[in-house]
Amino acid sequence: MHQLLTNVLDLGGTFVFAISGATTAVRRKMDVFGVLVLAFSAGNAGGITRDLLIGAVPPAAVSHWVYLAVSVLAGLIVFFRYPLIAKLDHPVQWPDAVGLAFFAVAGTEKALAYGLNPVMAALLGMLTGIGGGMLRDILANEIPVVLRSDLYALAALACAAIVAAGHVLHIHPIVPAIVGMVVCFALRYMAIRHGWHLPEASESRRAGKGPRPPNGE
């Protein structure tokens, strides 16, 4: 059950993150090759990083053709049907939110299956979730959303922590997976729709302090 759940969510996360990557590429006016590159990068960066860290080599994304096929399919759908996708409200952020939830669960479950303790498994689940979005934004010459004040990494971590807690409590994996994904998506929904965010640095507070004298004088 654990393996099936991980595989399904991994491929689902790959597809929706690839959609978000391809949408970003089209909005940046990239050609079809650029769209497919960004789709694959966004869809697989988190999973590849996870697999390398836990020793699952070669990573699933490069050892199984289905990951490439799913990424290419998502990229082509966006490339040829972008006008329809562009009509959606927040066409990048909603697929990204779904992918974040899928990958946070899949990453935590796979880390647990490879013997990591629950705390580190949850952190790796978070990393799996945010990795694709980070690379997508970097390739598109944008500040990664995880580095802004948005509820992004926190949403992934909350999801991963619920999955890890379910493992510790010996709860059937489907239950914490569903609860975790709902919590993750709810946090992202509130961030996208209602502007929920973490505290951010105050420019006026920084400016008021002035430059620090050399050598601490």
**pLDDT tens for residues 107-147?**
999 999 999 999 999 999 999 999 999 999 999 999 888 88
Q: Provide the CA 159 distance to its chain's centre, in angstroms.
A: 12
Q: How many CA atoms lie within 13 A of 71 on its CB side?
A: 27
Report how far residue 88's alpha carbon sits from residue 81's, in angstroms, rounded to the nearest whole number. 12
Residues 6+ positions from 169 with CB-CB distance below 8 Å:
none
For residues 48 and 61, the answer to whether their CB atoms sit within 8 Å is yes
Say whether 150 sits in a helix, a strand or coil: strand
* pTM as predicted: 0.87
pLDDT > 70: percent of the chain: 91
Report how far residue 130's alpha carbon sits from residue 134's, in angstroms, rounded to the nearest whole number. 6
**pLDDT tens for residues 59-105?**
999 999 999 999 999 999 999 999 988 888 788 888 999 999 999 99
Report how far residue 36's alpha carbon sits from residue 75's, in angstroms, rounded to the nearest whole number. 5
